[in-house]
Amino acid sequence: MPAIVLVGMQWGDEGKGKIVDVLCDEASLVVRYQGGANAGHTVVIGDEEYVLHLVPCGILRPGKTCYIGNGVVIDPEALFSEMSSLENRGIGVRGRLFVSLSSHVIMPYHKLSEKVLEKLLGERRIGTAGRGIGPAYRDKAGRVGVRVCDLFDHRVLRDKIAVLAEEARALAEQLVEHEELNAVTVSRPQIVYARAESEDESCVEEPSEVFKRYVALGEKIRPMAVNVSRELNLALDERKTVLFEGAQGTLLDLDHGSYPYVSSSSASAGGACTGTGVGPTRIDEVVGVAKAYTTRVGNGPFPTELSSEASQTLREAGAEYGATTGRPRRCGWFDAVVARYSARINGVSKLYLTKLDVLDGHRELKICTGYAYEGNALGDFPASLEAMFRVEPTYETLPGWRQSVKGARRKEELPPEALGYVRRIEELTGVRLAGVSVGSAREEMVFFD
């Protein structure tokens, strides 16, 4: 299959990194199409564990060429630090990783702006990863963003930074009111930001200094900056296989997720086209990845969330801590309403279930098959935030299994209850089950095809 999109069907952390790694065998090119360094994709190869944020997981496979598409927002410092940590571990990156000339760039004040917004939201804060993602996409939609190609055009870059500096000054005035900074910092137009390496320390940088720093970063990016749309389409013309690697998940999609508790990009399959410049008619397959239970990191509605004690049991069994922020993930039962909704939004053609081994040893397991809201059954995931918070899940109880599924490699080797559990999920989701992951290692897979 030449063009395969891989998407998360829940709130992120479905184990997409592992499935990308498994599917990589077939692919020559791997491309990220949305999000930024907010992602945390964990891949285990032998005794080594890698956590990738911005670079596609395909980089871990020798010979694969990786791209960061126009739909991604790039923090150049985060990019270079990830590239050097990969190189320090013996993964060659240079000459195999390219970025789009049209990708937007995360600027110094985006992270601070996010901090201020979260503070202003108070109890309604999103619980973001703090990587400047939302403000960068806001500038993109506001048509004032800096793109990779602007880093090479000094006049454009200088003008853009001047406008943004003025805006940042206004923001700084607000900050003074909120006692984040002292009044001295707003006496002249300045860019105010928190440096990546010391997030709590607010720093002030003149527009001319920001300009110089970004020109230098631009020179480092220049050899990697290409027309990604052209390269991917040429590869597809040559019948090469391209894997589109989604980050976050469908319920964190800006349009289709649990808005406003979402990320700011198109995490669903449609984003693969807008985020790379490959047309919808060229996509052959959409692979959906869902965890055998549900987790969410950050705030917002989560209908099947377990009580804190039961959540803790799953969290420990599944090592459910954010790969980017280290925050404990909220845990709950598998939600088939969410899975069915995601299957439709993305047009999922194949399903992979992950982390089935984490459910070993439960006497019984629950699957949410529907929601009730104000006494009525809901046919779908609701649009209203109020409803998302207040729906009552309807559960079906299934028998658990005692023995570990970790050693299973064929479906006949799964305990009958485990097979029954995944087959029921397949039925409720309405998508063919292609495989189940039973551990973090590459070979810990049971294929159903």
Chain contacts with Mg ion (rule: CB under 5 A): 13, 40, 323
Query: How far apart (Å, rounded) are the C-alpha atoms in residues 331 and 321?
Result: 10
Cα 171 from Cα 169, distance rounded (Å): 5
Chain residues binding ligand IMP by CB under 6 A are 12-13, 38-40, 126-129, 131, 133-134, 247-248, 252, 263-264, 297-298
Token pair 């990604």 in the structure block, residue: 228
Select from Mg ion, ligand IMP, none the partner in contact with residue 393, using the beta carbon and a kind-dependent cut-off of 5 to 8 Å: none
Q: Which does 283 bind (CB under 5 to 8 A by kind): ligand IMP, Mg ion, none?
A: none
**142 vs 164, 223, 442, CA distance in Å?**
11, 28, 42
Q: Which residue minimizes CB distance to Mg ion?
A: 40
With CB under 5 to 8 Å by kind, the binding choice for 346 among Mg ion, ligand IMP, none is: none
| Dist. CA 436–CA 290, nearest whole Å | 10
Nearer to ligand IMP, 128 or 349 (CB): 128
Give the residue with the Cβ less far from ligand IMP, 172 or 254.
254
Q: Between vectors from CA 344 to CA 341 and to CA 347, what angle results, nearest 5°?
A: 145
CB of 173 to ligand IMP, least distance (A): 24
Q: Could you identify the residue written with the tokens 């960068």?
A: 136
Residue closer to ligand IMP, measured from CB, 17 or 277: 17
The helix/strand/coil state of 290 is strand
Q: Which is nearer to ligand IMP, 207 or 298 (CB)?
A: 298
Task: Please confirm, yes or no, whether 335 is among the known catalytic residues.
Answer: no
Contact 438, 445 (CB under 8 A): yes
Q: CB under 5 to 8 A by kind: which of Mg ion, ligand IMP, none does 298 bind? A: ligand IMP
> Could you give the residue ranges of the DSSP H alpha helices within 178-263?
207-221, 228-237
41 is catalytic: yes
CA distance 314 to 305: 11
Q: How far apart are CA 170 and CA 166, in angstroms?
A: 7
Q: Which residue is nearest to ligand IMP (CB)?
A: 298
Task: Name which of Mg ion, ligand IMP, none residue 129 binds, using a CB cut-off of 5 to 8 Å depending on partner kind.
Answer: ligand IMP
Find the catalytic residue in 21, 41, 53, 104.
Answer: 41
CB of 386 to Mg ion, least distance (A): 28
Cα dist from 282 to 2, 242, 329, 347, whole Å: 8, 10, 36, 14
Closer to ligand IMP by CB, 140 or 362: give it: 140
Which residue among 13, 75, 139, 335 is the active-site one?
13
Q: Point out the residues that are catalytic.
A: 13, 41
